Amino acid sequence: MDSNKRTFIALIMILGVFVAFQYLSPKGQAPVQQSQEQQPVAAVPEAESTAGQQEALIAAQPQKRNAVKGAAPQIPVTQSTLETKDFRAVFSNQGACLVEYSLKRYKLPDGKVVQFIPENGQALTIDLTANGVPVDLSQYGFTVDEETARSVTYQTKLANGLIVTKRYALLDKGPGLALNISIENPDGVALGPRYNLSWNCGLNFTEKDQKIDENEYAAISMLGKELASDKAGKLAKPDLVEIEGDIIFSGVRTKYFLAAMVPINKTAAAVKQGINEGRISSRLSLKAEPQGYDSIAIYLGPIHHQMLSGVFPQLDKVADTGWKPLQPVTRGILWLLLFLHSFIPNYGLVIILFSVIIKVAFFPLSYKGMKSMKHMQQLQPKMKKIQEQHKKDPGKLNQETMALYKKHGVNPLGGCLPLLLQMPVFFALYSVLANTIELRQAPFIFWINDLAIKDPYYVLPALMGIAMFFQQKMTTVDPKQKFMIYMMPPFMVFIFSSLPAGLNLYWLIYNILSIGEQYIIHLRHKPIED
């Protein structure tokens, strides 16, 4: 069970205790760490992409030119680059693979740009079977058949006569690449029924605390409408985890970033996932069709709803987090936070305003709940009298108690209702703050430079505990429950100290607003009449 699930269960238990209190007292193995940018052996000049939008995803089959007998030792290793304002992709003619990929708008804690591929890694490799013999094309030399500002085409001819062409192009939308693969078989070689396209180099971790990435590091795949996520513990077995069926997409993810392979002109027949030299791998099996070609969208970017759906509609399911029934609430909260952020540049201020909005929205319920709680407190002497009179007759005791409640219009559960209704908002907000790329490295003030991780100095949890102490002190009048005033705040501080700073900020402001709310309710409260 990962830390997010443990934290989520802990929150449920804690808030369950908190609700009860209110009623009783009228959230693999690490890959190789990111290295400095790889130096090409014999690189060609970079090609800057044009600003015009072109349809790159399903392009015509590349024409054959100068097909060569490919073997790695026979062709010098060279590199080609495709670059936009958002990312930079570097390819090697050894295997016609992606060897470097960086996102320019996303930074590491040290200020360098995010790099996807570990040092000496090869992504988007191909292997197949010909004449019953496995052929790993990652070690074959390809020639650059064609290169433009928006695409690069590689081609090689195997000794058995197979001609393999790989064409990379910029996607029309979103970060990533369009990949067209052609396998021609002029000599009638006995070609296996499938070939594999693999992302077998894992992904670099990007967060300062590696556990953040380790907890989410997984191979993902979608079979029909079901999204599967297999983490390192499950994949660390001798045999690959294989899923048969119509595979919509597959890939590898960390906490905030995703590399996904999405077949466009047909679904994949299977996906195999496992651990390759300590790195999670995902191998997409496609039907080998001589004289045909496959078109695959390669998403290489953040786990961001709009970016994912812009490349392929079902990809955005990777961004859904938290308990499934709460996902609509999670999306609604994310939309509201992003909407507020379009006017307010600081996410800390956005969270403060969000706290105010939630408190105002729930005020009518809170008012009724507090009013019911105070009435319950005032009825305690009458309740004790009824209990003394009917202590030997539980049926009569219950009947008289209900009659007393009805006479004074008191709902015994009224004090719990506001808090119960706020729980979905609380859990959904936790999911947004802990998992959403928009909040990654979002600063607030002074020492808080990332609202998505815990407060490094625990100031916000401490302030939240103090605010909670005074808030509880205003509501608890039953002497039997007063010990909770001193027990609950430290307990909550302990739990919240490991939660995102943004969630601590929300709960701090919410408690401060609750103090003001209770003061207003106290001024407006009228005692019940006998």
Q: What is the pLDDT of residue 269?
A: 80
Decide if 316 contacts 220 (C-beta within 8 A). no
CATH of 57-318, one of 3.40.720.10, 3.30.950.10, 2.70.98.90, 3.30.70.60: 2.70.98.90
Decide if 104 contacts 116 (C-beta within 8 A). no
- Give the span between the Cα atoms of 145 and 153, in whole angstroms: 5
Q: What is the pLDDT of residue 156?
A: 95
Q: What is the pLDDT of residue 486?
A: 83
Q: What is the pLDDT of residue 70?
A: 38
Q: What is the pLDDT of residue 13?
A: 58
Helices (H), 101-219: 210-214
**Cα–Cα–Cα angle for 162, 163, 167, nearest 5°?**
145
Give the helix/strand (H/E) hosting 502. helix 501-524
Decide if 473 contacts 522 (C-beta within 8 A). no
Map residue 26 onto helix, strand or coil: coil
Query: What are the E-state strand segments in 239-278?
Result: 241-253, 257-263, 268-276
Decide if 283 contacts 271 (C-beta within 8 A). yes
Query: Pairing mode, if any, of strands 47-48 and 79-83?
Result: parallel
Indicate the pTM of the whole model.
Answer: 0.80
Q: Could you tell me the residue ranges of all domains in the chain? A: 3-27+326-524, 57-318
- Give the span between the Cα atoms of 530 and 347, in whole angstroms: 50
DSSP state string for 296-338: EEEEEEE--HHHHHHH-GGGGGGG--S-GGGHHHHHHHHHHHH
* Residue in 385, 425, 377, 342 with CA at minimum distance from that of residue 522: 377
Q: What is the pLDDT of residue 399?
A: 85
- Give the span between the Cα atoms of 501 and 459, in whole angstroms: 9
Helices (H), 379-450: 380-389, 394-408, 417-435
Q: What is the pLDDT of residue 59?
A: 34
Q: What is the pLDDT of residues 82-114, one digit of tens each?
A: 999 999 999 999 999 999 999 999 999 999 999
Residues of the chain with pLDDT under 70: 1-74, 237-239, 412-415, 417-418, 476-481, 525-530
Q: What's 94's DSSP letter? A: B
Q: What is the pLDDT of residue 254?
A: 96
Buried b (16+ CB within 10 A) or exposed e, 67-96: beebeeeebeebbbbbbbebbbbbbbbbbb
